[in-house]
Structure 1
Amino acid sequence: MVTIRKHDPTRPGDIRAITDIYGYHVLHGRASFETEPPSCAEMTARIDSLLAADYPVLVAELDGAVCGYAYAGPHNARHGYRMTVEDSIYIHHEAMRRGIGSQLLSALIAAARTGGYHQMMAVIGDSANASSIELHRTHGFRHIGTAREIGFKFGEYLDVVCMQLSLKDE
């Protein structure tokens, strides 16, 4: 059974699992355009900065082990964008295709609404990432554009798909 909960910085297993999950996707996937996995210390700093700014950070557990995480962070650092968040969702590669991403996104949308945010953006690395595009579409996100060949990873140029959800629509 999958359980979704808030990330707890006092649980050392959380950050290690988050670092491992993200690191795998950095090395083997095209959803993130990073090319070197961040260290545990770097991921701790990233997550701590989100928590300090009161952004939601969630983890999914399967049989007591962290198998995915999601957060809503700033879409843009400029003050005028403060009511818009951007989501990130990563699932352990062995736990994919079980609906965990959908459960995380559902909980993240609810947390962003509770937090008073107005819009949620999905900036999806690689237009071939059909599962992420469909996940967001299923949760009400609208495709608002595709930026062509703005990323470069694994020797090829990659598109970025932008999707948007109004958090005021129930």
Structure 2
Amino acid sequence: MLEEEYQPRRTLPRHLQKTEAPEAPFEFALRETTAADLPHIREIYNYYVANSTVTFDEDAMTLAEWRDKFEYLTKLGMPFIVAVSPSGQILGYALVAPWKQKRAYRFTVENSIYLGPAATGKGLGRVLLAELIARSKQAGLKEMIAVIADQGADASLALHQQFGFHEIGRMGRVGFKFERWLGIVMLQLSLK
């Protein structure tokens, strides 16, 4: 085809063009965790146990272990929330637990946030962390600690830093999972 024979492609008027349906908005609600949520929470957590180094647990947690943890946190009045889809599916959860067992640490907690694999990358972690911080303040807690793996958890590190957590220390080679050594990064946020 000669250059002079080339004619640019014509485009249809906008009203006749195919339009891709917009992606449905990612909808969810946050609420307190109930005992009925625990099987779903267990499945989310155990996914990370089996497939990642964001938790150093190597053995899946049982439902009985989750029930014990739930009862313990409820007894202490610790925030434990879930994100739920409009259809009732648990998309993720967030909780705080005592940093240490000694009484003097009673106002200091460690946070945990886990999302179902289909709920990642949609901003849900940010919403859960914001709510967890707000509820922890309401509960009278004063300090929040995040203990994050030094490999494979860059998004978690960045998220915590965006909320004002600052690094307070690192420990190298303190965990061994998937045939490799792992360290942790510790961050802290004062709940004022």
> Residue 163 of structure 2 aligns to which amino acid in structure 1?
H
- Equivalent position SS for 1:32: coil
Q: TM-score, normalised by structure 1?
A: 0.94
Unaligned runs of 5+ in 2: 1-26
Q: Distance in 2 between matches of 1:145 and 1:41?
A: 33
- Equivalent position SS for 1:17: helix
CA pair 51-41 structure 1, distance change in 2 beyond 3 A = same
Equivalent pairs counted in the alignment come to 165
The partner residue of 2:53 within 8, 30, 38 is: 30
Bigger shift: residues 39-48 or 107-116: 39-48
For 1:145, the equivalent position in structure 2 comes to 169
1:18-45 per-residue CA deviation (whole Å, 9 max, x = no partner) reads 0000000000011111111111121111
Q: Does structure 2 retain, via aligned residues, the 8 Å contact 1:127–1:161?
A: no
Q: Does structure 2 retain, via aligned residues, the 8 Å contact 1:30–1:126?
A: no
Q: Distance in 1 between matches of 2:60 and 2:157?
A: 24
The partner residue of 1:123 within 144, 147, 155 is: 147
Q: TM-score, normalised by structure 2?
A: 0.83
Shift of 1:99: 0.8
Shift of 1:142: 0.6
Shift of 1:62: 2.2
Shift of 1:143: 1.1
- Give the number of the structure whose alpha-carbon radius of gyration is greater: 2
RMSD: 1.0
Shift of 1:124: 0.8
Runs of 4+, deviation exceeding 3 Å: none
The partner residue of 2:62 within 28, 39, 44 is: 39
Q: Distance in 2 between matches of 1:164 and 1:138?
A: 12
Shift of 1:162: 0.2
- Equivalent position SS for 2:119: coil
Matched, 1:48 2:38: no
Shift of 1:116: 0.7
1:55-86 per-residue CA deviation (whole Å, 9 max, x = no partner) reads 11000112321110010110111111111111
Matched, 1:111 2:135: yes
For 1:166, the equivalent position in structure 2 comes to 190
